[in-house]
Structure 1
Amino acid sequence: MSHDHPHDHDHPHDHDRAQWKHDGVRVIKGDQLDSNTAQTPGMFRQAAINHARVGAQKIWAGTVSIAPNAKTGVHHHGELESVIFIVRGHARMRWGDRLEFVAEAGPGDFIYVPPFVPHQEINADPDNTLECVLVRSDNEAVVVNITDVDPVEAPEAVYWTDPIHRAPE
């Protein structure tokens, strides 16, 4: 059985194998996360994957635990895209120029935050911690705080729908 590929000259197999030992796949154990990250009152962030830890160039990943009823200030992350995976708890996201939209997510749900979208993360549970995995599209910790937002008091509910999941009637 041949393992020859037409592009072997682009990715030679005779690469210094010792380099892969240190520059190849990395496993970051859950009890070895780095808490030397930007922190917000009521939240605890830990980095798993970043440039300092593994040499990542285009991605940041870690965890965030949000205390009961805690919320961030209104902010956006510049050009970065963010994905939040809810591990445990109940998240409420508000977004828009006046936080006029709201949606909720629970365990197993993913939240996508596009570039430049003003938003606020909220732990919607008064009794339990919200635990999430966070992935951003760059290594830079871009956070632009927005202090002049006059939030609407009753945001419009927006249901996350797709061809399988429909909004309630």
Structure 2
Amino acid sequence: MPHDDDGAPRWKHDGVRVIRGDQLDPNTAQTPGMFRQAAINHARVGARKIWAGTVAIEPDAKTGVHHHGALESVIYVVRGRARMRWGERLEFVAEAGPGDFIFVPPYVPHQEINADPEQPLECVLVRSDNEAVVVNITDIEPVEAPETVYWVDPIHAAPKE
């Protein structure tokens, strides 16, 4: 076990940490329509192999198609309704609700969607590494037209009625 200069085991100085829910760090990569906050990462607690935090997705919002490289991700749905689309043409779809876990394997092209047009989707997110790997994929043609869930940003605004 690594030791500090004073000869004490590291855990004596850097043992268990409690990160209070009202002390999460919003200084993370942000996506329009989503709000991420870090709880556990290298900068906050010295974590080397894991990242954990929260994400809130606005009603009717969705991410672009992306993958997280070699990282594994786990999403735990706290509140709301999540819809996940994945595959080479987003040909697969599944939904998850409060208490459900979602596992996203490495390199899987996917899209997270808040399936509720009125309520935010709140989740806990855990990734298998500390690096924030996001590879956006812009050339996927979905196998079927996506839901009427629109991006929440000025570039991908909902069509005017």
Q: TM over 0.5: same fold?
A: yes
Quote how far apart the aligned CAs of 1:20 are.
Answer: 3.3
TM-score by length of 1: 0.80
TM alignment of 1:142-153, pairs within 5 A = 142-153=133-144
Does 2:110 align with 1:119? yes
- Choose which of 127, 134, 137 in structure 2 pairs with 1:136: 127
Aligned length: 143
Unaligned runs of 5+ in 2: 147-161
Quote how far apart the aligned CAs of 1:21 are.
Answer: 4.5
* Structure number, greater radius of gyration: 1
Match of 2:8 in 1: 16
Match of 1:25 in 2: 16
Cα distance in 1 for partners of 2:143, 2:62 equals: 16
- Cα root mean square deviation, aligned: 1.8
- Choose which of 79, 88, 94 in structure 1 pairs with 2:85: 94
Give the counterpart letter for 1:54 in structure 2: V
TM alignment of 1:41-56, pairs within 5 A = 41-56=32-47
1:71-124: CA deviation from partner (whole Å, max 9, x where unpaired)? 000000000000000000000000000000000000000000000000000000
Cα distance in 1 for partners of 2:103, 2:12 equals: 34
Does 2:59 align with 1:74? no
Cα distance in 1 for partners of 2:48, 2:20 equals: 20
- Contact persistence 1:100–1:154 (CA under 8 A): no
Give the counterpart letter for 2:52 in structure 1: A
Cα distance in 1 for partners of 2:12, 2:111 equals: 41
